[in-house]
């Protein structure tokens, strides 16, 4: 396919997303099935165009003066890909499979990139209703934080220290050009360009052997701050597919006992194969039942309970750009209730002197500092560990620079793409009094 044909395809996919109100992954899959002539490179390039257009949806529409799929793609080409008017006109020449030629209004709009007078939510490319919540956290920096969330995310890998050494594994993966992550001592980062296919990590021998997992560096750091130690009794209360479970098992060096569970047993389905592949031997997966509490036998005995809480996912917009346009106030209310419930459950599982570590991939104070304040009001026997203490113990020499980068609060700390180069994560360490 020609570059122009790929742009036409991206416009069609965006129109399908809008008309049928469906996730981008579903629309792209259907497009691929109905256009089997398109090669893997074409499909990857079209997906890149679609996701980049969704990342810049608000600012692109502002630039073009309308929010049509065509305007979104054209605006993205100017704002995100940096194409000038002549380059966009060359792609939109009306030839076979190419988009229609630009009209006078489109040419005038694409001649400039002026977003100076755009409202904050437009310049930062996020939903208007989230402007006040984001302003509460970031103030005038919310536009720059939003712009960082509208960039492509790198591919981060976590080296399984139970099975491999980071430096040696970097050599084995040298064809991917990995670089050591800044904060996580077990992380490797692969930067994927706009026109590149994401590398098939799942087909790498190192992945098949369990030596490496795909995990954002922020998630790796959150697991390190949890500080699960060898020999401890640890509960991963919202384990899902097991990403943080695997990270915790590695820091525990396969010693002690780690219980992994989730209220939604369907989310636990992938964890068994992942544990086996990684060579993890100290994990019990507790699948929830209808009538019995699967953690009753360890209630009040855990040294650490990790709550990787269900949340709005506002910190992951780089990877899920269509999700930010689907989020509604009602979904936030639902998540807040779920978070309070799971935090209360964690409080009953941890022993005196133990700790609860609360993690979200959200940027919103409602889900982060507010949630912790409410928890502390309900459970006065807990107190927050100062972020400086938790980070220094977890990151060692990297701690000072990390603490300068993150936002810190009495209740915890917040990572963001702009500040730490990671997804957005809030982490709070809560210690139960002896």
Task: Please give the C-alpha separations between residue 362 and each of 41, 134, 172, 216, 407, in angstroms, as whole numbers.
Answer: 33, 11, 34, 14, 13
Residue 308 annotated in ligand binding: yes
Distance CA 106, CA 91 (A): 14
The whole-angstrom separation of Cα 366 and Cα 38 is: 44
Which of these, 223, 366, 351, 344, lies nearest to 299 by C-alpha position? Answer: 351
Q: For residue 88, count other CB atoms closer than 10 A to its CB.
A: 21
Partners of 429 in the beta sheet? 357
Whether 361 is catalytic is yes
Cβ atoms within 10 A of the Cβ of 230, count?
11
Rounded Cα–Cα distance for residues 364 and 336 (Å): 11
DSSP code at position 228: -
Closest C-alpha among 78, 32, 31, 36 to residue 53: 78
Q: List CB contacts of 395: < 8 A, sequence separation 6 or more.
A: 183, 221, 224, 402
Secondary structure of residue 116 in the 3-state scheme: coil
Contact 54, 323 (CB under 8 A): no
**Which residues, including other chains, have CB under 8 Å from residue 67's CB and lie 6 or more apart?**
57, 61
Q: Is 344 annotated as a binding residue?
A: no
**Helices of type H across 100-212:** 104-110, 120-123, 131-138, 142-149, 166-172, 205-208
Binding site residue list? 262, 308
Catalytic residues: 361
- Residues within the annotated binding site for S-adenosyl-L-methionine? 262, 308
């Amino acid at each position: 396919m020609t570059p122009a044909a790929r742009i036409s395809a991206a416009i069609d996919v965006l129109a399908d997303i809008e008309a049928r109100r469906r996730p981008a992954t579903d629309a792209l899959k259907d497009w691929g099935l109905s256009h089997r002539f398109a090669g893997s490179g074409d499909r990857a390039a079209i997906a890149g165009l679609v996701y980049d257009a969704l990342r810049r949806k608000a600012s692109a529409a502002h630039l073009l003066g309308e929010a049509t799929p065509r305007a979104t793609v054209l605006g993205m080409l100017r704002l995100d890909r940096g194409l000038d008017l002549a380059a966009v006109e060359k792609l939109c020449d009306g030839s076979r499979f190419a988009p229609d030629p630009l009209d006078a209004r489109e040419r005038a709009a694409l001649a400039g990139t002026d977003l100076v007078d755009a409202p904050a939510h437009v310049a930062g490319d996020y939903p208007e209703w989230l402007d006040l919540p984001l302003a509460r956290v970031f103030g005038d920096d919310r536009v720059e934080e939003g712009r960082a969330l509208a960039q492509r995310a790198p591919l981060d890998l976590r080296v399984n220290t139970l099975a491999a050494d980071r430096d040696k594994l970097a050599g084995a993966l040298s064809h991917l050009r990995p670089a050591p992550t800044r904060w996580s001592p077990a992380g490797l980062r692969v930067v994927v360009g706009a026109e590149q296919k994401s590398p098939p990590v799942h087909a790498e021998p190192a992945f098949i052997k369990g030596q490496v997992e795909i995990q954002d560096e922020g998630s790796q750091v959150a697991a390190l701050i949890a500080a699960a130690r060898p020999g401890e009794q640890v509960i991963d209360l919202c384990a899902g597919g097991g990403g943080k479970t695997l990270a915790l098992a590695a820091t525990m060096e396969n010693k002690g006992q780690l219980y992994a569970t989730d209220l939604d047993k369907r989310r636990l389905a992938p964890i068994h194969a992942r544990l086996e592949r990684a060579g993890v031997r100290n994990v019990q997966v507790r699948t929830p039942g209808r009538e019995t509490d699967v953690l009753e036998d360890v209630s009040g005995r855990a040294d650490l309970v990790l709550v990787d809480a269900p949340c709005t996912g506002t910190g992951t917009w780089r990877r899920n750009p269509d999700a930010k346009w689907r989020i509604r106030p009602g979904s936030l209310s639902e998540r807040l209730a779920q978070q309070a419930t799971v935090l209360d459950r964690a409080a009953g599982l941890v022993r005196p002197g133990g700790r609860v570590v609360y993690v979200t991939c959200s940027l919103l104070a409602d889900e982060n500092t507010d949630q912790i304040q409410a928890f502390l009001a309900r459970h006065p026997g807990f107190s927050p560990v100062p972020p400086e203490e938790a980070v220094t113990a977890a990151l060692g020499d990297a701690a000072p620079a990390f603490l300068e980068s993150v936002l810190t609060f009495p209740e915890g700390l917040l990572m963001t793409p702009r500040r730490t180069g990671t997804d957005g994560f809030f982490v709070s360490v809560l210690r139960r009094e002896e």
